[in-house]
Structure 1
Amino acid sequence: MRKALTLLGTGLAAALALTACGGGNNASAPSAAATLDPANPTTVTVGATPTPQAKILEFVDQKLAKEAGIDLEIKEFDDYQTPNIALSDGSLDANYFQHLPFLEDQMKTKGYKFEHGAPIHIEPYAGFSAKHKKISEIPDGATIAITNDPGNQPRALKLLESAGLLKDIKDDSSALTLSDEQNPKKLKFEENQPEILLPLVKDPKIDMAIINGNYILDAGLNTDDALVVESVKDSPYGNFLVWRAGEETPAIAKLEELLHSPEVKAYIEKTWPNGDVTPAF
């Protein structure tokens, strides 16, 4: 495995995202008809967020890939824009960091032409607070730090709904357009990019911050300490492998197969026994 760390800043990533091109989607997995040669493995360059995606890929690379005839080159990204830019421009063969609502929004707004495999794992969203110890302590007019990306914001709002703080949240609901009926506690929202929400947990102006699962893990936090945790039952937010449309290479097909192997499922369950990462297959 050859592992590289991508240090492209969030601001530049967002700027580049405006120029990325493509369009369309297809949820079918590629064919693995051709034979891969373990003696001459095919390199597959995959972009991923560090935890848990890159760790799962490292396990595959160390334990399963060689005998399957592939060699993974894992590139880590610390934001949610650059991996799709890199996949679109050919810098990556595939990426592994996103769920279907986020991918669909990216393809719609940026024109990417991507396909994806089956869900591999789910990381539950969770709300953390340095000011309150119970969700029932969140007062009327509280300020909630929330992601600004439309692929994840409704998910965060639904988490608040599950906690009894909001009502009647739709798949396209926005924090800034909630009605008084939807927001009876008159919550205020501070929108920000998901990768910089974590420090807001300790901001004295913030009552609670809704954090993405991979950033929870990167920070060494535990959902056992959260005020509210998303249910993973029947979740539409399983993360999967994504590749450019029409590039049905045997190596990508093999990686898709390995990521759904019993070995990977056992690795996830052993590494995150509290359910902070849950197999989706």
Structure 2
Amino acid sequence: MTTHTDTDLLALATRLSEEAAEIIRVIRARGFKTLTKTDSSPVTEADHAAEAHILRGLRAATPDIPVIAEEEVAAGARTAVAPAYWLVDPLDGTREFAAGRDDFTVNIGLVRNGRAVLGAMALPAYYQIYSGGVGLGAHRKDKTGVTPIRVRRAPAEGLSVLASRHHADDTRLAEYLNGRKIATLGNIGSAVKFARVAEGLVDLYPRLGPTMEWDTAAPQAIVEAAGGHVTLLDGSELLYGKTDWKNPSFVCTGTL
């Protein structure tokens, strides 16, 4: 790649996320073992195979842009924050994947000057690819083609809310939602929740537990390209380049 325009970079991320999704589907179909990392989180062959494919593609096409990827970091890799860098989660929602559920994603996001500026997110089990970036709009690709997506204005009957399955019993969620008119409340895993906000199916995703930067960069860029917002609980920006890559609590919204 010689131009490095954002259109080119988004196309690269989208292609690699789609290819990684196919790798994950193949491994899922033939079976796999689930191991436990030192932080007690699960990891599978699919995580490693998808990440290896994405890293090869990014480093070959954009050798000047560093890549921070979940499994490399877990293995001890240390990459300094740069003005621009890729953030990769090759299989967000490994618990869902290992349990045979469908809500897991491939996330490839680009950060520039501390902000998530573009990203691609594949939902392998749904055969969906979401992409978007600053000035590029947001789109969903599925078996029917490519469709522009946009967040919706919250309906009069109340908000549709998605929250984390893993933190479904967290009392902070009820406290956060107290006083809001809620029409539906569901709990699913992974960054799929961002996709449902971006395409206007859901209005609110409060995340009141820990996440890492590679969990959120791509989906944040997509939601914001679709007209939504991802902010800290005080309304300030969710920014990138933290020394430990850990995010504070945040909220993802459509047009409320």
Give the TM-score normalised by the residue count of structure 1: 0.31
Q: Tell which has more relative contact order, 1 or 2 (C-alpha 8 A, sep 6+).
A: 1
Query: Normalized per residue, which structure has more strand?
Result: 2
What TM-score, normalized to structure 2? 0.34
